[in-house]
């Protein structure tokens, strides 16, 4: 068995909890060595689940990064990516970004890429709450003409109070991730995979309990129409359960738990 990877997590909410559970049962071949959150009590809750107790930090990123780590998982916010991403990569530590919306800031993305090239670190973004990104990346090779995303969620998860299905936003992904920073990171992942900014529609629907995403991609080689209906995370209704599972699957691959790799 290969040596365990060493992982630090920034942001100790619902998805971090799922990552820690996966490490405890051996689903990912890793030790969680450091946790960081502006609310340290959240870290304490996760630390109790682990046999080897990780170090806990509140805001001191420099002390956090003194640990020998293979990966830092950002599970906090787009602001955390902007504030800490460059420092993580400068240490040569691989960065797993969950708040992918931050990467639609072209200047930030280029800075992160430049540092990663210099240090040999990598930036990873899980597929999140959607599917088909491998096929979309493949279509990018011959050109993509149109990318569209319709997201439908219960009003509560979008912070809306409506009595009937209501369009809260219609426009480019870049603006969508600013208006809904915790809800439509999938728009950023989709845009980055396609190499073309997605047209986004966000709908609050009081008649649904699911988080639904409809993706349309048009290319000379293929037309994709993908519908995903996700159950909200048991720990956080704003987060799709699939989003947490996609992070775990990415970490399984990165830490050597997958002997046969299907898809890209």
Q: Enumerate the active-site residues.
A: 213
* Residues 6 or more apart whose Cβ sits within 8 Å of residue 39: 12
Q: 3, 36 in Cβ contact below 8 A?
A: no
Burial 158-177 (b: 16+ CB within 10 A, else e): bebeeeeeeebbeeebbebb
SS3 category, 73: strand
How many whole angstroms separate alpha carbon 168 and alpha carbon 149?
A: 14
Pairing of the two strands 211-219 and 223-230? antiparallel
Q: 37, 84 in Cβ contact below 8 A?
A: no
- Show the 3-state SS of 204-241: ECCCCCCEEEEEEEEECCCEEEEEEEECECCCCCCCEH
How many whole angstroms separate alpha carbon 178 and alpha carbon 144?
A: 24
* φ, ψ (nearest 5 deg) of residue 166: -135, 130
């Amino acid at each position: 068995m290969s040596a365990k990877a060493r992982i630090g997590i920034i942001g100790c909410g619902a998805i971090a909890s799922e990552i820690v559970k996966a490490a405890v049962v051996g689903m990912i071949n890793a030790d969680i060595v450091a946790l960081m959150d502006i609310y340290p009590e959240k870290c304490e809750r996760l630390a109790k689940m682990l046999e080897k107790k990780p170090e806990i930090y509140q805001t001191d990123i420099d002390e956090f990064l003194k640990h020998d780590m293979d990966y830092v998982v950002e599970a906090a916010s787009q602001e955390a990516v902007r504030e800490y991403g460059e420092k993580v990569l400068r240490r040569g530590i691989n960065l797993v970004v969950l708040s992918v919306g931050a990467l639609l800031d072209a200047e930030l993305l280029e800075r992160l890429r430049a540092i990663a090239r210099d240090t040999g670190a990598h930036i990873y973004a899980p597929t999140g709450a959607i599917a088909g990104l491998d096929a979309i990346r493949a279509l990018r090779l011959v050109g993509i003409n149109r990318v569209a995303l319709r997201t439908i969620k219960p009003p509560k998860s979008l912070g809306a109070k409506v009595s009937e299905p209501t369009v809260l936003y219609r426009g480019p992904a870049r603006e969508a991730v600013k208006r809904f920073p915790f809800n439509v990171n999938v728009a950023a992942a989709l845009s980055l995979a396609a190499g073309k900014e997605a047209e986004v529609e966000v709908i609050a629907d009081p008649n649904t309990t699911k988080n639904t995403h409809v993706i349309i991609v048009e290319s000379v080689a293929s037309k994709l129409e993908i519908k995903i209906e996700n159950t909200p995370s048991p720990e956080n209704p704003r987060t799709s359960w699939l989003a947490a599972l996609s992070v775990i699957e990415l970490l399984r691959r990165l830490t050597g738990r997958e002997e046969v790799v299907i898809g890209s």
